[in-house]
Amino acid sequence: MTQPMQPPEDVAIVAFAQTPSYACFNDSEPAMIMPCVNSVIEQTGMDRHDIDFTIAGSCDYLSGLPFAFVMNIDAVGAWPPVYESHVEMDGAWALFEGFVRLQSGDIDTVLVSGSGKCSPGSYREGFSLQTDPYVHAPIGLDPRTQAGFQAQALIAAGKATERDFAEVVARSHANAKANPYAQLSGDLLVGDLLAEPYLQQPLRRHDCPPTSDGAGAMIIARADKARELCDNPVWIRAIDHRIESHHPTLRDLTDSPSVRLAAERVGLHHGPVDVAELTVTYSPEEIILREALGLDEATSVNPSGGPLTGSPFMAVGLTRVIELARAIANGDGGRGVAHASSGPALQQNLLCVLEGDS
């Protein structure tokens, strides 16, 4: 059993903001990020020049432009010059690096953002370039196809049925009715969903995420500063992330050993798990994640509706952390876990444990 990590410094989320999940945001990516950044700065009452470090997550390929991330600094403001960095990953990994950076104890505040616009491009064509360039990418092995393999593996192993997938979808859409940021929501009947045609057997349209544009941002701070900036900080107790092989055939697609390992490292079950915000990009993933995380009925899973109801890639993982922080700040739970994922079929997974201010 891996020992849970003990981050040396207490770090809290002191402000967070997100855009709605847009089917198509008719303006530039910086224009999407800027309201989030302005909002978190306003919430803390800080002067933007007092933020010690800024880190963003985004992906050039979504914009179809090398160095697309350079434009995003317009949303942060970089004059006078700023101490800043960028990960070519979901904003949740920007949060990871920001959290780690605060552990050194020599700075107090980090502004984290994540953003992505899926609407301008072809998600299936673009994301097939995530696979290895010599064997998989030339045959167009796209994420939906790999999600289909995963779903089929679950069914073949007797771990889930298409009805289980439909139930995930129905619950996600029902939960999203209360989420003003969701792109899709409503009351769906499992029987109706199962009557829909296959998009890619065994996946139906509703088992897959919508195309979304969106952004999110937060400010995190070390303990003393967090208390100064916020009356109700949400504490980040641990963050860990792990990856699995890129060869689908080397993996048990019905399980997620990387999630199990990360769960041990963040000490997930060293306290109650009231809420879990999971990056369920395809409905079968929720079944795998619930099992790997060891969640039972005591945990409310994706009360926001999750990515099946709005999936702005590169912001979607950070948005899980934001949704969880909101739930905890609102008193909908005392402790919970947010999950972000990268790569096809849950290849890489990040867990972040948040706890209320008690």
Partner 1 sequence: MAPRPCAVLGIGQTKYRRRRDDVTLDGLVREAALGALEDAGAGFDDIDAIVLGKAPDALEGVMMPLLSLCDALGAVGKPIHRVHTAGSVGASTAISAVNLVESGMYDTVLTIAYEKQSEGNATWALSGGKSGGQGAGGTFAPWIRNYIARSKAPEHIGWMVAVKDRLNALKNPFAHLHLPDISVEKVRESPMLWDPLHFLESCPSSDGAAAMVLGNDDIAKKSGRPPAWVISHAKRTEFGQFPGRDTVRPQAGVECSEALYRKAGITNPREQIDCAELYVPFSWYEPMWLEGHLIAEEGEGWKMTDAGHTELGGSFPVNMSGGVLSSNPIGASGMIRCLEAANQVRGTAGEYQVPGAKISIGHAYGGAAQYYAMWMVSSELNPEL
What residue ranges bind partner 1 (CB under 8 A)? 5, 7-9, 59-61, 64-67, 69-70, 73-74, 78-89, 93, 96-97, 100-101, 103-106, 126-127, 129-134, 136-137, 240-247, 250, 257-258, 261, 342-344, 347-348
Residue 213 DSSP code: E
Q: How near is the Cβ of 41 to partner 1 at its closest, in Å?
A: 17
Residue 180: burial class (beta carbons within 10 Å; 0-12, 13-18, 19+): exposed
Query: In this structure, what is the dihedral angle of CA atoms 321, 160, 267, 265, given to the nearest 10 degrees?
Result: -90
Rounded distance between C-alpha atoms, residue 110 and residue 307, angstroms: 26
Q: Which of 15, 70, 22, 18 is nearest to 48 (CA)?
A: 15
CB 281 within 8 A of CB 314: no
Rounded distance between C-alpha atoms, residue 286 and residue 121, angstroms: 27
Q: How near is the Cβ of 317 to partner 1 at its closest, in Å?
A: 12
- Of the pair 5, 155, the CB lying nearest partner 1 is at 5
Residue 286, both tokens: 């929720």
- Of the pair 130, 179, the CB lying nearest partner 1 is at 130
Residue 265, classed as helix, strand or coil, is helix
CB 314 within 8 A of CB 257: no
- Of the pair 85, 232, the CB lying nearest partner 1 is at 85
- Of the pair 66, 158, the CB lying nearest partner 1 is at 66
- CA-angle at 206, arms to 173 and 250, nearest 5°: 115
Q: How near is the Cβ of 326 to partner 1 at its closest, in Å?
A: 25
Q: How near is the Cβ of 16 to partner 1 at its closest, in Å?
A: 21
In which residue are the tokens 């107790």 written? 237
Q: What are phi and psi of 347, to 5 degrees?
A: -65, -45
CB 98 within 8 A of CB 220: yes
Q: How near is the Cβ of 51 to partner 1 at its closest, in Å?
A: 13
Q: How near is the Cβ of 62 to partner 1 at its closest, in Å?
A: 9
User: CA separation (Å) from 236 to 57, 103, 106, 354, 355?
Assistant: 19, 12, 18, 5, 7
Q: How near is the Cβ of 92 to partner 1 at its closest, in Å?
A: 10
Q: How near is the Cβ of 267 to partner 1 at its closest, in Å?
A: 14
Residue 157 DSSP code: T
- Of the pair 136, 204, the CB lying nearest partner 1 is at 136
Q: How near is the Cβ of 110 to partner 1 at its closest, in Å?
A: 11
- Of the pair 5, 190, the CB lying nearest partner 1 is at 5
Q: How near is the Cβ of 282 to partner 1 at its closest, in Å?
A: 17
- Of the pair 188, 292, the CB lying nearest partner 1 is at 292
Q: In whole angstroms, what separates CA 327 from the centre of its chain?
A: 15
User: CA separation (Å) from 271 to 37, 132, 144, 301?
Assistant: 32, 39, 35, 16
- Of the pair 110, 280, the CB lying nearest partner 1 is at 110
The overall longest dimension of the chain from CA atoms, in Å, is: 59
- Of the pair 84, 228, the CB lying nearest partner 1 is at 84
- Of the pair 23, 73, the CB lying nearest partner 1 is at 73
Residue 345: burial class (beta carbons within 10 Å; 0-12, 13-18, 19+): buried
In which residue are the tokens 């009360």 written? 303
